[in-house]
Chain A
Amino acid sequence: MKNNPIKAEIQGSSQPFRFKKSIYLVEVVGQKARNLSEFMRALSIVDRSAIFFHLHQPMLVSPQAQLEYPNDFAYWMAKELGNYILAEKFANLEPFRVQDLEEIRRDMVSQISQQLVHEQDGKSVVLGREFVFCRARSIVLDSGLEASNLKEFRDALKRVDINSVYYHLVESKLRLGRKTNDFAGWLQAIGEDELANEAGMLDPYLTTLEGNRNGLIKLVEARVSGR
């Protein structure tokens, strides 16, 4: 059994960009909620990996379609609990703006607390429609693609598995705690500071994963063609 340490995953400064991708298995973590109070209690103690998972699962399940609600929390609030105020607040969480998932947790708990002041537990869902907290067990694989310059990078972006875009753009930053996304990190390492800055500013939560792929390709395309 071979396991590469995480540090081996971080791209070297002048190395070609090696595209990796993550695939995941869903695991329940033991907390579930039928109403707002239970949801808040569970959210307060649940492992942060569960918060990460529910913020990103819809993106991975539907990488091409823009969904009505961008994360599982907002979806459950609207569709199961009928709490549209919290659904909208949770839809508007901005994971891109935070460095630590604890900020998201605090924000959500605070918003629920404010609602509970007025309406106690609120509605309870029927059995079977509870919010079941889960997390991902991920496996990171080599995609077999690498790029040594911008043209190769653009061409690889067009072909690479969408899970690779997710891994380097989303997962690497928030889950693995890197300062910026992997694409921006590599672009900076090869001296493309302006492009790196633009790639680093891409908020992946504003569109689908395919939309993000296309956005990145456009950025690189513009640089390659000198526009």
Chain B
Amino acid sequence: MSVPKVERMADIHLDDYRAVVGDQVIDELYQLGEYLTGKRLQHINSTRVGGGVAEILQRMVPLTNELGLEVTWDVIEGNPDFFQVTKSFHNALQGVEMTLSEQAYEAYVKTNRENASQMSLDGDVVLIHDPQPAALIDVIDQRKQKTIWRCHIDIARPNESVWRFLLQYVSRYNAAIFSVPGFARELPLPQFIIPPSIDPLSEKNREVEEREIEEVMNKYGLDTKRPILTQISRFDRFKDPLGVIKAYKMVKRSHNCQLVLAGGGATDDPEGAQVLAEVHEASAGDPDIHVLLLPAYSDREINCLQRGSTVIMQKSTKEGFGLTVSEGLWKGKPVIGGAVGGIPLQVVDGVNGYLVHSSEGAAFRIKYLLSHPEEGKRMGENGREHIKRNFLLTRHIRDYLMVMISVLNPEQELVYLK
């Protein structure tokens, strides 16, 4: 098991990213930081560990602090009932039909008020993540402070009653941030688009030695002399692992390849367990299909599996953003992805991979890449450049600083810095 990430990552500083992204990108951050020197940015979310938001903030907060801003991160507290309500909010905002009781809404407001009374809400800019702490806007002095609501989930088709409730809070912020344009809503405030990012120096993405990649591939019985197709994702129907197996079987008729489907182990999610059972059934009898149930803290192994692969798959039929695509591209691999959610932002069709709409489409593209390895190499190189420019943590930090500058200069479409 890896050493817990927070401890290992604490030794990494902003200047360490120069070797990865170049001096110009880091200098740019310092320029923006200089403009914002002394400003206090306060992040607020609902959990310190677990989940993508906490993972990003663990890295982003210390790195942004190195730029001369005063960046803090607060976490709201709540009892299990509150988090049950906000979990329902989360599902409803993503379109699940449900009706919430008056008591549920009251529990949400009450917990936000309790947190507001115990928390020092003193940032010049307060950046509140997701619906859980959104009602803190009630106690922020908007004459003196700027407020930003950062929504990490797809709320393009929300349950209307839950959205109407939340809107009374969200509409009072100075700005909102969504991950892709399609997730944005009609709101009476500026809405910015900031895609998520991967950290190139994290365990999951940092460079590793060939020897280590070999060890991991050997550990899982993979033959590195034959092509390897890999999809890393939960065993979720929307990730379409069965469609990936179908595509692999079509490819297998002409190419002696292997398939890796790797994701978290069976959970208490009955749907996930069912999908996993179907995956086992579909792969039965083929020793070249490797279904891997990886434990928590397997980032390093995922890194090696991706680097040891020939083609990365993310054949989702519904997707939020799909950061495994960026992970694969960052490792210089061509990616074949479903044309859904944030995948088309990452896969530039024909440039760093292919967008597909069916198992047949995936099979056709895989066969092409396996028959033209030089094309796969070229696409992999393009992919790494695309991620370097658009989907690394340093770009994410830059975008947050730019939103700060925008809310502090709301009327200016163009801002000139010395």
List A residues at the B interface (Cβ < 8 Å). 1-6, 8-9, 23-28, 30, 49, 61-65, 67-68, 79, 127-130, 132, 134-135, 137-144, 161
14 examples of A-B residue contacts, CB within 8 angstroms = A25-B193, A26-B181, A26-B194, A27-B190, A28-B184, A28-B192, A30-B186, A49-B413, A61-B386, A65-B385, A67-B348, A79-B349, A140-B416, A140-B417
Contact of A138 among B194, B390, B413 (CB under 8 A): B413
Q: Cβ of A142 and Cβ of B382 under 8 Å apart?
A: no
Contact of B28 among A2, A9, A141 (CB under 8 A): A141
Q: Cβ of B193 and Cβ of A134 under 8 Å apart?
A: yes
Q: Which residues of A contact B24 (CB under 8 A)?
A: 143, 161
Given contacts A26-B193, A62-B348, A63-B389, whether A127 and B157 have CB atoms under 8 Å apart is yes
Q: Cβ of B382 and Cβ of A65 under 8 Å apart?
A: yes
| Residue B147 CB within 8 A of the other chain | no
CA distance A2 to B412 in the complex (A): 13
CA distance A135 to B184 in the complex (A): 14
Q: Cβ of A132 and Cβ of B390 under 8 Å apart?
A: no
CA distance A24 to B401 in the complex (A): 11
Q: Which residues of A contact B31 (CB under 8 A)?
A: 141-142
| Residue B169 CB within 8 A of the other chain | no
Would you give the 0/1 interface string for B156-193, flagging 1 where the beta carbon is closer than 8 Å to chain A?
A: 11000000000000000000001001101010001111
CA distance A127 to B318 in the complex (A): 12
Given contacts A23-B28, A25-B406, whether A61 and B418 have CB atoms under 8 Å apart is no
Contact of A3 among B349, B352, B416 (CB under 8 A): B416
CA distance A61 to B178 in the complex (A): 18
Given contacts A61-B389, A132-B182, A142-B417, whether A68 and B349 have CB atoms under 8 Å apart is yes
Q: Which residues of B contact A27 (CB under 8 A)?
A: 190-193, 406
Given contacts A3-B409, A134-B193, whether A64 and B181 have CB atoms under 8 Å apart is no
Would you give the 0/1 interface string for B241-253, flagging 1 where the beta carbon is closer than 8 Å to chain A?
A: 0000000000000
> Distance (Å) between the CB of B136 and the closest chain A CB?
24
> Distance (Å) between the CB of A70 and the closest chain B CB?
13
> Distance (Å) between the CB of B344 and the closest chain A CB?
8
Q: Which residues of A contact B27 (CB under 8 A)?
A: 144
> Distance (Å) between the CB of B173 and the closest chain A CB?
14
Q: Which positions 189-242 of chain B face chain A at CB distance < 8 Å?
A: 190-194
Given contacts A3-B409, A137-B413, whether A130 and B182 have CB atoms under 8 Å apart is yes
CA distance A1 to B407 in the complex (A): 12
Q: Which residues of A contact B402 (CB under 8 A)?
A: 23-25, 137, 139
| Residue B284 CB within 8 A of the other chain | no
Q: Which residue of A lies closest to B181 (CB)?
A: A132
List B residues at the A interface (Cβ < 8 Å). 24, 27-28, 31-32, 35, 156-157, 178, 181-182, 184, 186, 190-194, 339-341, 344, 348-352, 382, 385-386, 389-390, 398-399, 402-403, 405-406, 408-409, 412-418
Q: Cβ of A26 and Cβ of B192 under 8 Å apart?
A: yes
Q: Which residues of B contact A128 (CB under 8 A)?
A: 156-157, 182, 340-341
Given contacts A61-B390, A141-B28, A142-B418, whether A23 and B413 have CB atoms under 8 Å apart is no
CA distance A68 to B182 in the complex (A): 22
> Distance (Å) between the CB of A146 and the closest chain B CB?
14
A127-B156, A161-B24 provided; 15 other pairs, C-beta below 8 A? A1-B35, A3-B412, A5-B416, A9-B416, A23-B398, A25-B192, A25-B402, A27-B190, A27-B192, A27-B193, A28-B193, A64-B382, A137-B413, A142-B31, A144-B27
Q: Which residues of A contact B348 (CB under 8 A)?
A: 61-62, 65, 67
Q: Which residue of B lies closest to A65 (CB)?
A: B351
Q: Cβ of A64 and Cβ of B385 under 8 Å apart?
A: yes
Q: Which residues of B contact A8 (CB under 8 A)?
A: 416
Q: Which residues of B contact A9 (CB under 8 A)?
A: 416
Q: Which residues of A contact B406 (CB under 8 A)?
A: 25, 27, 137
Given contacts A4-B418, A8-B416, A27-B191, whether A139 and B32 have CB atoms under 8 Å apart is yes
Q: Cβ of B409 and Cβ of A1 under 8 Å apart?
A: yes
CA distance A3 to B390 in the complex (A): 27
CA distance A141 to B26 in the complex (A): 13
CA distance A25 to B352 in the complex (A): 24
Q: Cβ of B415 and Cβ of A140 under 8 Å apart?
A: yes
Q: Which residues of A contact B350 (CB under 8 A)?
A: 68
CA distance A172 to B32 in the complex (A): 21
Q: Which residues of A contact B181 (CB under 8 A)?
A: 26, 28, 132, 134
> Distance (Å) between the CB of A139 and the closest chain B CB?
5
Q: Cβ of A2 and Cβ of B35 under 8 Å apart?
A: yes
Q: Cβ of A138 and Cβ of B28 under 8 Å apart?
A: no
CA distance A63 to B388 in the complex (A): 12
CA distance A131 to B279 in the complex (A): 36
> Distance (Å) between the CB of A203 and the closest chain B CB?
22
Given contacts A62-B386, A137-B402, A140-B417, whether A132 and B351 have CB atoms under 8 Å apart is no
Q: Which residue of B lies closest to A29 (CB)?
A: B191
Counting from the closest, the 7 A-B pairs by CB-CB distance are A132-B181, A4-B416, A26-B193, A25-B402, A161-B24, A28-B184, A65-B351
Q: Which residue of B lies closest to A143 (CB)?
A: B24
CA distance A47 to B182 in the complex (A): 19
Q: Cβ of B382 and Cβ of A132 under 8 Å apart?
A: no
CA distance A129 to B343 in the complex (A): 12
Q: Cβ of B192 and Cβ of A138 under 8 Å apart?
A: no
Given contacts A23-B28, A61-B390, whether A2 and B403 have CB atoms under 8 Å apart is no
